Structure 1
Amino acid sequence: MQYSTVFPRIALVVAVLFGTIGVVAGPAAAAPEARFPGGLASNYVETDLATFHYVRAGSGTPVVLIAGGGLWGYSWRDVLPALAAEHTVYAVDLPSQGYTEPRRADFAYDLPAMSAAIASFLDAVGLDRTTLVGHSWGGAWSMYFAQEHPDRVDRLVLLDAPGLDAEKAPVAPLFTTPLLGELATELTTRSFYAENIRATFAHPQLVTDEIVDAYYLPFARPANRAGFLALWRNLDYRVTDAGLHRITAPTLVLWGGADTWLPATQAGALAARIPDATAHVLPGCGHALHEDCPAQAVPLLSDFLR
């Protein structure tokens, strides 16, 4: 979940945690079966690392979509059908996301671990080489994978993706502070989750109750919340920053000009450090770029992948 960077929201969370506003923690039971729009069926594949949940559509050259932190493949509901007209498209949940179940208690939830998860999924579905499209944290994981496995990445698309050793969201200390982070994660209710999902959109009216429910149900699972918190604490963008020159795949960097999570100036700075990269900033679009402004973002994606 990409929390807003507005300082008053931090004060609200602190107030919630210390009892000035009463809340009830989200449900601890496992979320129901995943339901992807358009009638696409859920698929599961077993590996030593995890049981991966994914949806697949289309035919042609492979494209793997990786959602942002606290989200899942549902994030790509507007992107997947468009790309499936020309490609075989996989929207996969990585550990901490959606309906994927890690199988290792010692999974590290850091950049190497998430890169290993990508490799494990690609191996399981028989993809030696693919295009990766990653949003937010999913972009950071894809970026690191492209640095470590350049021979396996045909093209790379990064949407509002952290990867520079640069400005972070002001809310980050809330989750990296011991005890406070645990409380913030455990006590995130549906209403607070919905508020912060809407804060990633420049057009918050697009975030319907159906969308909030689709995201919140799997986020409410204890294992996903724990992984989400661990990622806040373990993702080290000094590592991705140092390895940007090792990305050999043609790269498209897309950013929302109205992103309140990471400044849009990072788009050009990131593209300038990757050998074969271009950047596009879409005015009036938020951090959840492909959901907030699909009419602008999807054609850019399709043209680049074509």
Structure 2
Amino acid sequence: MKWLKFVLIPALLALNGCASMGMSAYPLAQLTEKYTDDTSKFLAVDDLIIHYRDEGTGPTLVLLHGVASSLHTWDDWVDRLVPYYRIIRIDLPGHGLTGSDPSTESYEIPYMIDKLEKFLNKLSIDDIYLAGNSLGGYVAWNYALHRPDRVKKMVLLDAAGFPQDMPFIMSFAALPVIGEMAGFMMPKFIVNMNVNAAFGDDDKVTDALQQRYFDLTMRQGNREALVSVFRTMKEQTKNPHLGDRVKEVKTPTLLMWGDQDEWVPLEVMKQFEQALPNSQSIVYEGVGHMPMEELPIQTSRDAHGFFTLGKTLSSPLVLAP
């Protein structure tokens, strides 16, 4: 199989050119200059330097992004919710400006929970509201299970948590040989395909959005870390016991889902509904995998209503059984 990369790489280079093939790591200083602002901070947790933003005052709301994403996915939510909360959002290990962890080759859930726990402890944060999308949602409900005393309420947006088919691009990148290739070469058109597939409305996908996802994928170590995450997810999504402990989560939970999600389908949301004893749900018509980016005004309003009033302000989309 080693011959494959010697055939594919020249062909892809001929089609796309070196600049867009994602074969070189971007300097961290360059990415930091472009993707930080006055609210950006860095905190050492073990061998990892976590990039996060800390904005506003009030009850603490912690936001966790999805796979192959970054804390910037919450920009529009923060704009609307910062008058009411202290909002802390982080680049998860292996993502964004946080980058890969030199002390691990695996980013399984116990590792993610441990890093989130130590991060919050270092900031001396006690009670939190918690919201997570996709992989971040998987981390969120597992963290709520781990620390029910700390998480007051939780929003899961198109969260992983039950067996399902992996998105094709991620499944493909997790394959032997292909994964090793992706560790040193991740073409921009592949990143763009991922971003486009995550949105229900292609018109919401801008050039700047695609560029941000590509740039942060090019941070040193992120490509290798993403392959590790993809492989872990591929293994876990085939595990028939993946969601066995969801029913143990007692935290009041709001499920937000896009009805056009091709990555984590509505069937997964229905399983969460059945398993979570204290939950409510809302489905957004025409929206894909990341409702907070695609429909920020309505989703942030619904999250705020749930946190403060215990109910959403939108009318739920009625689904067929």
TM range (shorter): 0.7 to 0.9
Whole-Å Cα distance in 2 between the matches of residues 35 and 147 of structure 1?
A: 36
Structure 1 segments of 4+ aligned residues over 6 angstroms from their partners: none
Aligned CA distance change for structure 1 residues 258 and 49 (closer, same or farther; 3 Å): same
For the residue of structure 1 that corresponds to 2:96, the secondary structure is coil
For the residue of structure 1 that corresponds to 2:292, the secondary structure is helix
Aligned to 1:33: 32
* 270, 281, 284: which one aligns with 2:283: 281
Shift of 1:79: 0.6
Whole-Å Cα distance in 2 between the matches of residues 77 and 160 of structure 1?
A: 18
Shift of 1:174: 1.0
Shift of 1:172: 4.3
Aligned to 1:209: 207
For the residue of structure 2 that corresponds to 1:183, the secondary structure is helix
Q: Tell whether the 8 Å contact from 2:49 to 2:98 is kept in structure 1 after alignment.
A: yes
Q: Tell whether the 8 Å contact from 1:17 to 1:183 is kept in structure 2 after alignment.
A: no
Q: Tell whether the 8 Å contact from 1:61 to 1:87 is kept in structure 2 after alignment.
A: yes
Whole-Å Cα distance in 1 between the matches of residues 12 and 99 of structure 2?
A: 33
Aligned CA distance change for structure 1 residues 34 and 195 (closer, same or farther; 3 Å): farther
Shift of 1:204: 1.9
Q: Tell whether the 8 Å contact from 1:72 to 1:93 is kept in structure 2 after alignment.
A: yes
Aligned to 2:179: 181
Aligned to 2:274: 272
Shift of 1:292: 1.1
Q: What TM-score do the two structures reach when normalised by structure 1?
A: 0.87
* 41, 44, 59: which one aligns with 2:42: 44
**Aligned partner letter, 2:212:** A
* 76, 84, 88: which one aligns with 1:78: 76
Could you say which structure has the greater relative contact order, defined with CA pairs below 8 angstroms and 6 or more residues apart?
Answer: 1
Shift of 1:254: 0.6
Whole-Å Cα distance in 2 between the matches of residues 209 and 124 of structure 1?
A: 37
**Aligned partner letter, 1:28:** A
**Aligned partner letter, 2:27:** A
* 260, 263, 267: which one aligns with 1:261: 263
Q: Tell whether the 8 Å contact from 1:40 to 1:56 is kept in structure 2 after alignment.
A: no
Aligned to 1:290: 292
> Identity over aligned residues, as a percent?
26
Whole-Å Cα distance in 1 between the matches of residues 193 and 242 of structure 2?
A: 30
Whole-Å Cα distance in 2 between the matches of residues 183 and 150 of structure 1?
A: 41
Aligned CA distance change for structure 1 residues 216 and 65 (closer, same or farther; 3 Å): same
Q: Tell whether the 8 Å contact from 1:34 to 1:42 is kept in structure 2 after alignment.
A: no
1:234 aligns with 2:236: no
Aligned to 1:301: 303
Aligned CA distance change for structure 1 residues 18 and 284 (closer, same or farther; 3 Å): same
Deviation string 1:10-55 (CA, Å, 9 cap, x unpaired) is xxxx9x9465443433131334215559x54211112214211111
Query: Larger radius of gyration, structure 1 or 2?
Result: 2
Root-mean-square deviation over aligned CA pairs: 2.4
Shift of 1:171: 4.0
Aligned to 1:115: 113
Deviation string 1:152-208 (CA, Å, 9 cap, x unpaired) is 211111111110123433444313321112224533222331232122112222222
Aligned CA distance change for structure 1 residues 265 and 214 (closer, same or farther; 3 Å): same
Q: Which runs of 5+ in 1 are unaligned?
A: 1-13
Shift of 1:301: 1.1
> How many residues end up aligned between the 2 structures?
292
Aligned to 2:318: none
Whole-Å Cα distance in 2 between the matches of residues 86 and 34 of structure 1?
A: 28
**Aligned partner letter, 1:33:** T
Aligned CA distance change for structure 1 residues 177 and 77 (closer, same or farther; 3 Å): same
Aligned to 1:8: none
Whole-Å Cα distance in 1 between the matches of residues 83 and 281 of structure 2?
A: 24
Q: Tell whether the 8 Å contact from 2:156 to 2:256 is kept in structure 1 after alignment.
A: yes
Whole-Å Cα distance in 2 between the matches of residues 280 and 59 of structure 1?
A: 28
1:96 aligns with 2:94: yes
